[in-house]
Amino acid sequence: MAPHTQQLTTAPAAAAVPAVPAVQLRGLTRSFNGRTVLDHVDLDLPVGQFTALLGHSGSGKSTLLRAIAGLDHEVVGSGQLTAPERVSVVFQDSRLLPWRRVLDNVLLGTDGKEAAAKGREALAEVGLAGRERAWPNELSGGEAQRAALARSLVREPELLLADEPFGALDALTRIRMHVLLRELWERHRPSVLLVTHDVDEAIVLADRVLVLEEGRIGLDLVIDPEVPRAEYRERLLAALGVTSDSR
Ligand SMILES: Nc1ncnc2c1ncn2[C@@H]1O[C@H](COP(=O)(O)OP(=O)(O)O)[C@@H](O)[C@H]1O
Ligand SMILES: [Mg+2]
């Protein structure tokens, strides 16, 4: 019995090795026509963390997300950028191909025998079981975004990037999508970077909230569930330049 106990007590040593973050940016810079949008951004996103990125319109949120997604070839070489291999991106519009049925959209770019089964499973997870053969134009805005989430899931992403994915939805649908996204995250635990301009959405969903300002991460808050949300709300609104006068 004794040697066994010994083994158990030495085990935590392995856990002390620092974890490699899912995303690591060092000095990432991006300019358009001589105007700097991202100015030497440094950022680590730990594996499995749900992070929200806030900022004014035009502050560079989408530019940062596109860089991390590997969609911006110009940004390469401006600094250091490390991101996982399996990355899924969800945008404000579902980007479903109208001439393909829902399941075929979800399966786009995947292959293998198990793909169809995984696609059905992903659709069931987002509440679209039975809609596999529907055409995209038969879906509501919320359902289309559910399908987009299913498409992202089927790739089993290590990192899920979402660029204002609920921006075009009505308030009630948004709330339902918040619940769904949080559930999916809890079940699959990808690292998430959610771009939003909605302070409340950020605080409700994320464990950490960043504010992009003047090309840098101006504020970086870890959300402690024990602390009243209102406190974070005030700080974030202040960082975004929204004072009580202007509300
Ligand atoms: N491809 C592009 N060409 C020129 N300017 C761009 C391009 N993409 C983004 N920008 C500019 O960079 C700034 C940041 O854009 P963006 O990242 O889309 O902001 P956000 O998503 O925070 O609203 C804006 O001023 C935008 O006009
Ligand atoms: Mg944007």
**DSSP secondary structure string, 168-191?**
TS-HHHHHHHHHHHHHHHHHH--E
> Which is nearest to 184 in space by CA: 133, 123, 132, 115?
123
Element (DSSP H or E) covering residue 7:
helix 2-10
Is the Cβ atom of 6 under 6 angstroms away from ligand 1? no
Taking the CA of residue 163 as reference, the ligand 1 atom at the shortest distance is 21
Distance 93 CA to ligand 1 centre (A): 18
Centroid of ligand 1 to alpha carbon of 61 (angstroms): 8
Ligand 1 contact via 71 beta carbon (within 6 Å): no
Compute, in angstroms, the gap from residue 65 CA to the centroid of ligand 1: 11
Mutation test residue for ligand 1: of 62, 64, 91, 217, the one with most atoms within 8 Å of CB: 62
Confidence of residue 78 (pLDDT cuts 50, 70, 90): confident
Based on the fold, state whether residues 121 and 237 are members of the same structural domain. no
**Angle ∠(156,159,164) on CA atoms, nearest 5:** 110
**4 inside domain:** no
The answer, yes or no, to whether any atom of ligand 1 lies below 6 A from the CB of 62, is yes
* In the block, residue with structure tokens 């997870």: 125
Q: Which of 140, 156, 172 is the last residue of a domain?
A: 156
Q: In this structure, which residue's CA is closest to atom 26 in ligand 1?
A: 58
| Residue 139: strand, helix, or coil | coil
Domain count, the chain: 2
The verdict on residue 10 lying in a domain is no
Range with lowest mean pLDDT among 79-88, 187-196, 200-209, 238-247: 238-247
Q: Is the pLDDT of residue 6 over 80?
A: no
198 Cα–ligand 2 center, Å: 12
pLDDT in the model for residue 77: 77
pLDDT in tens, 105-159: 999 988 877 899 999 999 999 999 999 999 999 999 999 999 999 999 999 999 9
Average pLDDT over residues 155-168: 96
Structural domain for 151, as ranges: 96-156
Same domain, 140 and 200: no
Same domain, 114 and 186: no
pLDDT score of 113: 78
In a domain, 2, yes or no: no
24 and 69 share a domain?
Answer: yes
Co-location of 224 and 169 in the same domain: yes
HSE, CB side, 13 Å, CA atoms: give it for residue 101: 12
Q: Which of 113, 128, 156 is the last residue of a domain?
A: 156
- Over 90: is that where the pLDDT of 223 sits? yes
Q: What b/e sequence results for 130-151 when a residue is b if at least 16 CB atoms lie within 10 Å of its CB, and e otherwise?
A: ebbebebeebeebbbbbbbbbb
**Per-residue model confidence as pLDDT tens digits over 88-99:** 999 999 999 999
- Residues 70 and 162 reside in one and the same domain: yes
Q: Is the pLDDT of residue 7 over 90?
A: no
Residue 165 and residue 76 share a domain: yes
| 8 Å CB contact between 100 and 108 | yes
User: Residues 186-192: what's their mean pLDDT?
Assistant: 97
pLDDT value for 114: 87
Q: How many A from CA of 49 to the centre of ligand 2?
A: 21
Residue at which a domain ends, from 119, 137, 156: 156
